[in-house]
Chain A
Amino acid sequence: MTEASTIRPGVGVPPADDVLLDVRHLKTYFKVMDGTVPAVDDISFSLKRGQTLGIVGESGSGKSVTALTIMRLLDIPPAEIGKESEAWFDGREVLGLPEGEMRRIRGNDMAMIFQEPLTSLNPVFTVGDQIAEQVQLHMKVKERESRDRAVEMLRLVGIPSPERRAKQYPHELSGGMRQRVMIGMALSCDPKLIIADEPTTALDVTVQAQIMELLRAIQERTGAALLLITHDLGVIAEMVENVIVMYAGQIVEQGTVEQVLLEPRMPYTMGLIESIPTVEKRGGRLSAISGVVPSPFHLPPNCRFEPRCPYRWETCRTVTPALYDAGDGRLSRCHLHLVEATARREAAIAAHDDNMRMGRRLTGAPDRIGNA
């Protein structure tokens, strides 16, 4: 870690003041016996204060590694962060910070909620102690105060009889309760950024609804920014304003949630959305993306989605696609957005619309009730 900090003497210019997190050209590699795995390959995005951003992708797409890199929770080695990578958080470049300073930010201004609450909580301490420890560490308060704060956090996240629960061990709580404890712990120091990595994946659908409502309410109340990482497009649609779609370590599409989910412009995103089973598709086949995610050791040389893409042509095999501007501030990593491919693009969009018309209808007035 210290090595990394010496490499970067504060390159680049700090972002505007309303930008809480600005990630530029983030690259994370893993050096393993079989070679180098580019887990995250040149990712840039920014998140304004109080906003919500979702990162969606299949397993192995690099979405969790992105979060862990920003949190500086990866072991270096085997992980290695690209030299030109920058991550500006709250006006400071965190990838180059000394570990001691990073520790002050992590858990304090930047908190993380993990997927598996049982493995992320320490089984030999009570949940109250675990929250109190963090509060003591970051807020410089007395032990009693920190305990009160822990109970208060448990109450905030909707745990009944928090005084009693604070004295219990993780195994005594249900999965939903544990995830609430994790959220309570993340919130205990009033963070400016909450990174939630698959916060509801291990939970039942009714408990997932509880946790999503809770996250949303807390995010609205505290004004913290939320970086939500998930593979579930349903959760994305419910929770966030902007979306990044990742595939094989790269951003392949980026835009507002409406743009990405309702009018996707990248064949991978189109395929993902089409493959969701809905009632209208009953009796018919689901449109599936053929093939599997490529092995990180043998990535296709140019477009990484090309071998699975139904719309590919010669250019896709020979030219590496950039993140093209697809209009209205959205980005798409696909040669369909080249001027000479206009006809192909329109055909692809028409095919997608056709596939979806079999499924969800795209017309009709928006009827958002939630946190519109």
Chain B
Amino acid sequence: MNKPAKADKTIRVTRAFGNIVEGEALVSTEGFSPRYDLDRWSGLISRPGHALEGHNIKDKILITPSAKGGIAAGWAFYDIQHKGISPKAFVFGVTNPVMVQGAVFAGITITEGWSADPYQLIRTGDIVRVNPAKRTLTLVRRASR
């Protein structure tokens, strides 16, 4: 398999908050809401028909194009973080203030916007790193397939 050049492995994000984190990517083609889509007791995406139905967000780096409504996410992120089932980071294409307020309150890394389509570079299971200070999302290594 051809390895992409190093520069091709990094995507710039527009806005970011939080610590540097590295972990397994969970890539969704569909937007996300912790209220509409998530079982907040297990961490499983439970909404029937969601692109990630049946996947668990625990310790993942969740890459999703958009945020869905739901003001309750503000408490939900804090709740799932204390239950030990939160992802390591949320990487949004476009987000809304609820997600940001919730992530900041819970101390979970969050980013919004990307310089290139991450779906071309990153697949579920790949190991990626989010660096909020540098505003980067980097593919560290491919999942073994």
A and B are interacting partners? no
Residues of B within 8 A of A (CB): none
